[in-house]
Amino acid sequence: MRTSRRFFLTGASVLAAAMVAGQASAQDVVGDILKSSTRGNWDDQFDARTNDTNKVASTLPIFSQQTVAFTEQAVAQYQNIVTQGGWEQVPATKKLQLGDDDPDVVPLRKRLMVSGDLPQSAGISTAFDSYVDAAVKRFQLRHGLPADGAMGKYTYAAMNVSAQIRLGQLQTNLQRLKEKAGTLGSRYVLVDIPGAQIEAVENDRVVLRHTAIVGKIDRQTPIVNSKINEIIVNPYWNAPVSIVRKDIIPLMRKDPNYLKDSHIRLFAPDGSEVDPMTIDWSTDDAAKYRFRQDPGNNNAMASVKINFPSPDGVYMHDTPQQSLFGKLMRFDSSGCVRVQNVRDLVTWILRDTPGWDRQHFEAAIKTGENTPIQVVNPVPVHFLYLSAWSTAPGVVQFRDDIYGLDGAQELQISSAQ
């Protein structure tokens, strides 16, 4: 039975892996990268995890002309692979890892050689040795999977997408790159939705990278091209009607104290506050009221909200649920984008706004008071969809086509069980 990755999205909670530079020549190449405490990786130093935000492993923006050129090379590489017959399926019958000796390692070696993850000099055998271990880890890194070297369901699923489908994915995303590369401005914020990652770019160089949480399958983050014009410190959270209907009303039916415990107040259309105990929660009548959560530690947006004009009403924000940033599948929001270490990003956005350096910004948070800040020189923000690209010759990145926009069912499959 084939199981869609969408089935697993809310259940996977392992650390994400990401990029690795350079082609595979032997196990020591990948091994040095994997063992390094500062390896080039969107979830490590690419994510702004300290106040020393100038240190990023790579300053190449994902939507750059150089990425376009590398991706064009990747298309040619995969066209050649397809012309020569592509690669065969790897039997997904058992978990394989370092130290195993199994006939299924033979097709695994062949598959990894075709995609350039395993050097031809490693030879063909039944041994899952250190060369195969390094090659599997490299493959996992290129596909945004945990680099544990083990052949599990997610790795088998990614590996058994055909070369023809991968070629089509590259071609589709190359067009997206060509359309936007070089047009986003000299200073902007980019959210890559499939990768659940954020870049702050200035003068064609990435100055910050952040891990993100984006929309669920049924509550998708939309494409956005706008400008950040407001930062709200200690924001109120006004629950959208969709969340009121889908989440809050059912929760109130189960627990009448939910609103009180969550510091959410209820307001009538005329602005008067309403006692939740006077509402009949067995109906949907409550949806006509406004649900507003007070600022504080329990607020859904935590310390800060990043505003910009959007027809879909989406925005970026902090979150009290920091553990979600450690998940492999970071598709947990209702469409808005949660930002890890959001204060670093806000400091960068407010750079040209007088009176709002990092010290004053942090002081405003400590007051607990709702404080809107108008951004001087609004910063362009783009939510875009890129699931395949190349960052260097021979280093081809693939991510799940989480919203099914690439047009191939195989790109959404997670496992064959």
Percent of the chain residues past pLDDT 90, beyond the cut: 73
Is 336 an active-site residue? yes
Look at 10-19, 125-134, 161-170, 247-256 and tell me which has the smallest mean pLDDT: 10-19
Q: Which of 263, 317, 360, 382 is catalytic?
A: 317
**Within this chain, do residues 339 and 284 fall inside the same structural domain, yes or no?**
no
Residues 233 and 247 in one domain: no
Do 193 and 319 lie in a common domain? yes
- Among 143, 210, 263, 336, which one carries the catalytic annotation? 336
DSSP per residue, 251-317: HHHH-TTHHHHTTEEEE-TTS-EE-GGGS-TTSSGGGGSEEEEPSSTT-TTTTEEEE---TT---EE
One domain, residues 155 and 68: yes
Q: Is residue 32 pLDDT above 60, yes or no?
A: no
pLDDT mean across residues, the chain: 85
214 touches 329 (CB < 8 A): no
The more confident residue out of 56 and 237 is 237
The 3-class secondary structure across 105-127, one letter per residue, is: HHHHHHHHHHCCCCCHHHCCCCE
Q: Are 29 and 127 part of one and the same domain?
A: yes
**225: CATH:** 2.40.440.10
d(CA 120, CA 26): 10
Same domain, 67 and 122: yes
> Residue 101 pLDDT more than 70?
yes
Instruction: Give the burial string for 213-250 (b: 16+ CB within 10 Å, else e).
Output: bbbbbebbbeebebebbebbbbbebebbeebbeeebbe
Q: Are 244 and 378 in contact (CB under 8 A)?
A: no
pLDDT at residue 385 greater than cutoff 90 = yes
Same domain? For 139 and 34 the reply is yes
In a domain, 153, yes or no: yes
317 catalytic residue (yes or no):
yes
Q: Which domain holds residue 89?
A: 2-176+388-416
Lowest mean pLDDT among 42-56, 113-127, 156-170: 42-56
| Same-domain pairing of 104 and 201 | no
pLDDT value, residue 283: 86
